[in-house]
Amino acid sequence: MQRISTHTRAPLWGKAGTRRIEAQASASLPPHTLMRRAGLGIARLAMALAPHARHIWVACGPGNNGGDGFEAAVQLQACGFHTTVSWRGDATALPSDARAALTRLHAAGLSCTPEAPSHWDLAIDALLGLGSRRPPDGHLADWLQRMHAADAPLLSVDLPSGLDADTGVGTGPVLVSRAPRHCLSLLSLKPGQFTADGRDRCGTLWLDDLGCAVDDASGSADAWLPGFAPDQPRLHATHKGSYGDVAVLGGAPGMVGAPILAATAALHAGAGRVFVGLLDPAAAAWDATAPELMFRPHHTLPQHGQALVCGCGGGEALAAMLPALLDHAGPLVLDADALNALAGQDALQKRLHQRASPAVLTPHPLEAARLLNCSTAQVQADRLAAARTLAERMNSVVLLKGSGSVIASPGAPALINPSGNARLASAGTGDVLAGFIGALLAQGLDPRSAAWRAAWRHGDLADRWPAHRPLTASALARAWPARA
């Protein structure tokens, strides 16, 4: 069993892929082995999470997820925990593995009750897993509501009930709670655990591969957790020219802060030199808080060899500049108003498509919806699919922001960034991310690596941010850790 962290590099499989893994694994094992292993894994984790629990509530559903719960209850009872198993249904309607587990439960002297207990020290949600097909209702919804409202820790089996393994879209009750939440994923990690509602619903994630470790030799994974890549050490005999130039274009009247944030972030993320071209003619041509930034007339940027970050607070004036920029700029990040200018403009999108080196696009869900000509809800309903479609359509690396940012690139597996938290939900943090990506492009990283490493670092900084210190974009822009 493995605790999943932001450093974990691992393949992610959705429903179909996990079912394939399960079928292959169970074909070579005696009947019911996987479910027994699942029960053992759940019980072990439950005991580790709540060693002093006196009363454990196992809520079981109508499929094999419920069967995992029955197996876990047998183990917990055997270890001396007072265990209540709540289950309603017809035993003959259970799938065969779950039916066998129910028989074992009865043989162990346990019986099921059709009601929830009044008190518990740890709840185990074994209501629905991969087979969840519609919002839980009736007694399933009632039991979920009780588990989420309680102060006791909650351990979800495989998936929090109602969470879609492919998309991370959650249905059914979930309340903001201070009680610890854990999820023990079985056989595989799933994309839906890391994006959309997945992070909130899962809490701390664990993986038990049930002794069937699968590699991804065939490249069939639906997405990947990228893992952690430290910054490259620097040679002593280098200079500012060794680490590339970034040019930042944006800053229409009233929005000058955005490019300054991106430029500051690029500087702190290690770019050798950073230039700024502001679109507001009345803006000051230097920034006393960041005297390293070099301000230039916007029409002179980017100069040859500079990585361009374009769009931050750019306003509508950017649209007229985009054709030339798309044709001639080298490494390129398009953010905010540059993305809005692209939306619905087939000619611009064609230019983007024809670029020799893919640009990095950093839409939030609303910007992605504009580019895809659909609603934000449709983007959020399947973030992986939306990012992949955009990446193919624009021949670009697309970093779809939000909880569990998705990084999709043409011809490469999609990545889901696991770092970050809701403290990043404040103005300007997107500009900082664009600046980080620009700095990594300037230092020679390919667009996909620059995008995921920047997203990972951006999230990791937020994860490590001191609780008592406000997380503002300008502080974040200066927080890239010093190289060893």
Q: Which residues are annotated as a binding site for AMP?
A: 401-405, 430
* Cis peptide bond N-terminal to 331, omega within 30: no
Closest CB to K ion among 180 and 272? 180
What is d(CA 451, CA 458) in angstroms, rounded to the nearest whole number?
11
User: For residue 163, what is the DSSP state?
Assistant: B
Rule CB under 6 A: is residue 75 a binding residue for ligand LZDS7PUF? no
Is 249 strand, coil or helix? strand
Rule CB under 6 A: is residue 154 a binding residue for ligand LZDS7PUF? no
User: What would the x/- binding string for ligand LZDS7PUF be over residues 110 to 139, using CB under 6 A?
Assistant: ------------------xxxxxxxxx---
- In this structure, are residues 156 and 184 in contact, taking their beta carbons and an 8 Å threshold? yes
Closest CB to ligand LZDS7PUF among 143 and 452? 143
The number of beta carbons lying within 10 Å of the beta carbon of residue 345 is 16
Q: What number of chain residues touch ligand LZDS7PUF (CB under 6 A)?
A: 28
Rule CB under 6 A: is residue 17 a binding residue for ligand LZDS7PUF? no
Rule CB under 6 A: is residue 86 a binding residue for ligand LZDS7PUF? no
The number of beta carbons lying within 10 Å of the beta carbon of residue 192 is 30
What is d(CA 354, CA 84) in angstroms, rounded to the nearest whole number?
62
Interface with K ion (CB under 5 A), residue from 75, 83, 84, 161 = 161
Interface with K ion (CB under 5 A), residue from 110, 157, 339, 368 = 157
Bridge partners (DSSP) listed for residue 333 = 309, 360
Closest CB to ligand LZDS7PUF among 38 and 290? 38
Name which of K ion, ligand LZDS7PUF, none residue 125 binds, using a CB cut-off of 5 to 8 Å depending on partner kind: K ion
CA angle 309, 457, 405 (to 5 degrees): 75
- In this structure, are residues 83 and 58 in contact, taking their beta carbons and an 8 Å threshold? yes
Rule CB under 6 A: is residue 62 a binding residue for ligand LZDS7PUF? yes
Helices 96-107 + 64-78 axis angle, to 10: 20
What is d(CA 255, CA 150) in angstroms, rounded to the nearest whole number?
45
Rule CB under 6 A: is residue 404 a binding residue for ligand LZDS7PUF? no
Q: What is the layout of strands, in order, in the sheet containing 154-157?
A: 2-3, 204-208, 181-186, 154-157, 122-126, 55-60, 82-86, 112-113
Name which of ligand LZDS7PUF, K ion, none residue 25 binds, using a CB cut-off of 5 to 8 Å depending on partner kind: none
Rule CB under 6 A: is residue 61 a binding residue for ligand LZDS7PUF? yes
Give the residue numbers of the binding site for K(+).
65, 125, 161
Helix residue ranges, H only, 355-415: 365-372, 376-381, 383-394
CA angle 200, 206, 211 (to 5 degrees): 145
Closest CB to K ion among 139 and 298? 139
Q: How far is the CB of 324 from ligand LZDS7PUF (least distance, A)?
A: 53
User: What would the x/- binding string for ligand LZDS7PUF be over residues 91 to 110, using CB under 6 A?
Assistant: ----x-x-------------
What is d(CA 171, CA 159) in angstroms, rounded to the nearest whole number?
12
Q: How far is the CB of 142 from ligand LZDS7PUF (least distance, A)?
A: 12
Q: How far is the CB of 68 from K ion (least distance, A)?
A: 8
* Cis peptide bond N-terminal to 302, omega within 30: yes
Name which of ligand LZDS7PUF, K ion, none residue 420 binds, using a CB cut-off of 5 to 8 Å depending on partner kind: none
Name which of ligand LZDS7PUF, K ion, none residue 35 binds, using a CB cut-off of 5 to 8 Å depending on partner kind: ligand LZDS7PUF
Rule CB under 5 A: is residue 25 a binding residue for K ion? no
What is d(CA 207, CA 157) in angstroms, rounded to the nearest whole number?
10
What is d(CA 409, CA 134) in angstroms, rounded to the nearest whole number?
31
Residue 364 CA, chain-centre distance (Å), reads: 13
Task: List residues near K ion by CB under 5 A.
Answer: 125, 129, 156-157, 161
Task: List residues near ligand LZDS7PUF by CB under 6 A.
Answer: 22, 26, 34-35, 38, 61-66, 68, 95, 97, 128-136, 140, 157-158, 186-187
